[in-house]
């Protein structure tokens, strides 16, 4: 059997090969189209069981066949798999576009909405039907045939361009390596970073230390390297990825223009003034102008703090480090030096207290305390030897959910951190289907012994995955000693990233909804999706949480309270600059999708320059090509939606304030958050879920307080 067509359990990663992709997807598409034909031929009044349920079953099977393909393309990318993915993607895109445009299906859903059965359906099922009616309108079901054809062509082309955009970033990132043979040029870099760089060089059969643009290599250079020329060289390479400064085949500039133009055309076909309006039709925010006003108001609040941050940074750079002009490749380095002087600690010092095993144990204990759950190591077929697998069980030992954990960066894996669904909770006859999630990060792997950056093990030249089963959940000291490695250690920022993605995972895994369309993260407004993830980050600043998840890898000493107090004092260090940076991205995104026309007066880069002139205080150099690697909006799900991070942060900060009022480890408040927010999924509007938990509408005050943007 084609492993992609086995839906009896977890994906059979060890057996999936590129040649399985096209036959599996084509078979599923044929079966689904045949089902639709049968459903439309039935003249009887549609019911949930006769109409919605069969459609739901069919589309879930397709999703579960295609999901592992997209996942492997993101985490175990190979030329063969990439070709299989990209050649099949247009067929998937065409199917869903055809589905959304099918006027006969739309009429069936309208008939069900107007039937006597509708009143007796559960709230979740009513929400699914209402969402379907909305999505048919947004999918072009009411368009005339000639416009439907154009709409379909737009969808297929956008999918192709977005995939190429992502591929170009990965290829451009992997293409750059810098080998340094003189140890003196690497002063300031931590020993674990140097060891990783030496192992990378050895793996490439070179002498010295090799650096890349992957986050675990790039970020420490920018933060710690005393060598300004090295920082400048690495910065320029990173800031110009996938642009006209590199290989022409990897230049994302023309792709960006075409993507934005196609989105504008799509919106106009559907009767919207711009893509921003179309994007917000299924979100909490009502208009692009509302989002722009929110961003600008927040910018006004943050700007005085950002200006103060910058004055301090420039003065410190000049008087203490002899840097007359602060350049972009100096900012992270000078900031770290200023932090060390002001708060008497360094990020590298803190990092030693967060070994992987202690962090995971602390994270799991937090979840167990808040929600009455237990997280245990389990086994499953995996795609790389470092991937682990876990069960989540309740107090009665019932299986609630499962998740994969893929923590480390590698050449075959796209950058960033993300959660994705494998299987979604739903009722199947007399049993509940257990939800499963992927949690992916790009942290530094354990160093010493085997090469940390090695692609050996599961990766095969034909793009398949070797037989491998997750066995160790949180490697112990014995495990590391046996393998000749020290534990991976995480920065505090990386710990927050892990908590963030785990929050997304809990949103998917702890749902109690039994209907697929609004179970877990399904049906949740995009600008509310970040609420559970940003909410989890707050716990990374609580002593009662951190003291149980820290341990120096060399001495087993817990994080000292004095060091924690310094971290807390520095929590909002440069928060003004950080806030303006996020506002810059969000405002650029929304204006590009609502008040900009490709080829009419200005380029995308010039638009970004205008936004920076309005809200930023730190302006990058002319050669910076940030948009060319802004995958969130050009190849992710955040187009005209990047504002969601700040929008949802208002909700998450205010939600967390209830824990602050009643005790951050209060199981009663935890149970309430689980029941009113996590368990509800998309079965009701996110604002209703927030109000049910908090007892009122959200307030921006907690966000400003948490970020230190209120004068004391």
Instruction: Kindly list the catalytic residues.
Output: 501
Q: Tell which residue, 435, 340, 413, has the closest CA to residue 170.
A: 413
Q: Tell which residue, 66, 140, 68, has the closest CA to residue 103.
A: 140
Instruction: Strands of 90-151 (E only): list them.
Output: none
Question: How far is it, in rounded angstroms, from Cα 395 to Cα 374?
Answer: 7
DSSP H or E stretch at residue 389: strand 388-393
Question: How far is it, in rounded angstroms, from Cα 172 to Cα 487?
Answer: 30
Q: What tokens does 257 get?
A: 């223009």
| Positive or negative torsion for Cα 575, 581, 582, 587 | positive
Displacement of CA 30 from its chain's centroid (Å) = 32
- Angle formed at CA 365 by CA 363 and CA 367, multiple of 5 degrees: 70
Task: Find the helix packing angle between 18-41 and 53-75, rounded to 10°.
Answer: 160
411 C-beta neighbours (distance < 10 Å), count: 14
Which residues, in sequence order, are CB contacts of 194 under 8 Å at separation 6+? 186, 209
User: SS3 of 201, please?
Assistant: helix
Provide DSSP, 606-630. HHHHHHHHHH-SS---TT--GGGG-
Q: What is the DSSP letter of 374?
A: E
For residue 404, list its beta bridge partners: 389, 438
Q: What tokens does 27 get?
A: 């078979």
C-alpha separations of 59 from 29, 53, 191, 657 in Å: 9, 10, 50, 40
386 C-beta neighbours (distance < 10 Å), count: 21
Strand 436-443 with 399-408, pairing: parallel
For residue 376, list its beta bridge partners: 391
Q: What tokens does 206 get?
A: 């070179």
Question: How far is it, in rounded angstroms, from Cα 264 to Cα 589?
Answer: 13
Provide DSSP, 247-298. -GGG--HHHHHHHHHHHHHHHHHTT-SSHHHHHHTTSS---HHHHHHHHHHH
CA atoms within a 13 Å half-sphere pointing along the CA-CB vector of 365? 15
Which residues, in sequence order, are CB contacts of 240 under 8 Å at separation 6+? 246, 623, 624, 625, 628
Strand 426-428 with 418-423, pairing: unpaired
Helix, strand and coil in the chain, % to nearest 5? 60, 10, 35
């Amino acid at each position: 059997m084609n492993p992609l067509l086995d839906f009896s359990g977890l994906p059979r990663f060890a057996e999936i090969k590129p040649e399985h992709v096209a036959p599996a997807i084509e078979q599923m598409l044929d079966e689904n189209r045949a089902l639709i034909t049968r459903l439309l031929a039935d003249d009887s009044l549609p019911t949930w069981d006769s109409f919605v349920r069969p459609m739901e079953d069919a589309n879930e099977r397709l999703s579960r066949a295609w999901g592992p393909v997209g996942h492997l393309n993101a985490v175990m990318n190979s030329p063969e798999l990439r070709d299989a993915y990209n050649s099949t993607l247009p067929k998937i895109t065409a199917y869903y576009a055809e589905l959304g445009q099918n006027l006969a299906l739309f009429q069936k859903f309208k008939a069900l909405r107007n039937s006597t059965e509708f009143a007796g359906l559960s709230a979740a099922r009513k929400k699914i039907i209402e969402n379907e009616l909305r999505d048919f309108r947004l999918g072009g079901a009411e368009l005339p045939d000639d416009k439907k054809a154009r709409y379909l062509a737009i969808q297929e082309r956008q999918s192709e361009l977005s995939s190429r955009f992502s591929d170009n970033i990965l290829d451009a990132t992997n293409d750059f390596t810098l080998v340094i043979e003189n140890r003196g040029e690497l002063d300031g870099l931590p020993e674990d970073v140097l060891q990783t760089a030496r192992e990378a060089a050895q793996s490439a059969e070179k002498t010295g230390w090799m650096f890349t643009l992957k986050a675990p290599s790039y970020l420490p250079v920018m933060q710690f390297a005393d060598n300004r020329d090295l920082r400048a060289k690495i910065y320029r390479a990173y800031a110009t990825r996938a642009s006209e400064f590199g290989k022409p085949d990897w230049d994302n500039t023309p792709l960006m223009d075409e993507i934005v133009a196609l989105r504008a055309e799509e919106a106009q076909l559907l009767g919207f003034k711009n893509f921003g309006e179309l994007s917000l039709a299924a979100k909490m925010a009502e208009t692009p102008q509302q989002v722009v006003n929110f961003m600008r108001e927040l910018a006004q609040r943050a700007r005085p703090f950002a200006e103060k941050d910058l004055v301090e940074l420039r003065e410190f750079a000049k008087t203490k480090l002899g840097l007359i002009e602060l350049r972009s490749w100096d900012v992270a380095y000078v900031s770290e030096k200023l932090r060390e002087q002001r708060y008497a600690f360094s990020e590298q010092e803190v990092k030693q207290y967060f070994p992987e095993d202690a962090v995971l144990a602390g994270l799991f204990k937090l979840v167990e305390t808040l929600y009455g759950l237990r997280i245990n190591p389990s086994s499953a077929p995996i795609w790389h030897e470092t991937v682990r697998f876990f069960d989540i069980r309740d107090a009665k030992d019932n299986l609630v959910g499962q998740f994969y954990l893929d923590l480390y960066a590698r050449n075959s894996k796209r950058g960033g951190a993300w959660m994705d669904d494998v299987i979604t909770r739903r009722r199947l006859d007399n049993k509940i289907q257990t939800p499963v999630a992927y949690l992916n990060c790009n942290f530094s792997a354990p160093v010493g012994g085997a090469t940390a950056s090695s692609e050996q093990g599961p990766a095969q030249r034909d793009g398949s995955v070797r037989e491998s089963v997750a066995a160790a959940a949180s490697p112990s000291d014995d495990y590391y000693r046996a393998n000749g490695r020290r534990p991976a250690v995480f920065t505090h920022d990386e710990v927050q990233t892990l908590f963030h993605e785990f929050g997304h995972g809990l949103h998917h895994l702890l749902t109690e909804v039994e209907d697929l369309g609004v179970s877990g993260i399904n049906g949740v407004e995009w600008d509310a999706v970040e609420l559970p993830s940003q909410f989890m980050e707050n716990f990374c600043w609580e002593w009662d949480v951190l003291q149980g998840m820290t341990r120096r890898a060399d001495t087993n000493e817990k994080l000292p309270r004095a060091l924690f107090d310094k971290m807390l004092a520095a929590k909002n260090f440069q928060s003004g600059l950080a806030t303006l940076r996020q506002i810059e991205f969000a405002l650029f995104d929304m204006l590009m999708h609502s008040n900009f026309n490709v080829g009419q007066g200005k380029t995308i880069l010039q638009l970004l320059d205008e936004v920076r002139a309005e809200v930023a205080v730190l302006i990058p150099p002319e050669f910076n090509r940030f948009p060319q690697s802004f995958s969130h909006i050009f190849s992710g799900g955040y187009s005209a939606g990047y504002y969601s991070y700040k929008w949802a942060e208002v909700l998450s900060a205010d939600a967390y304030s209830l824990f602050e009022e009643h005790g951050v480890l209060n199981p009663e408040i935890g149970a309430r958050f689980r029941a009113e927010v996590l368990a509800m999924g998309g079965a009701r509007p996110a604002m209703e879920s927030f109000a049910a938990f908090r007892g009122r509408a959200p307030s921006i005050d907690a966000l400003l307080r948490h970020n230190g943007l209120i004068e004391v």
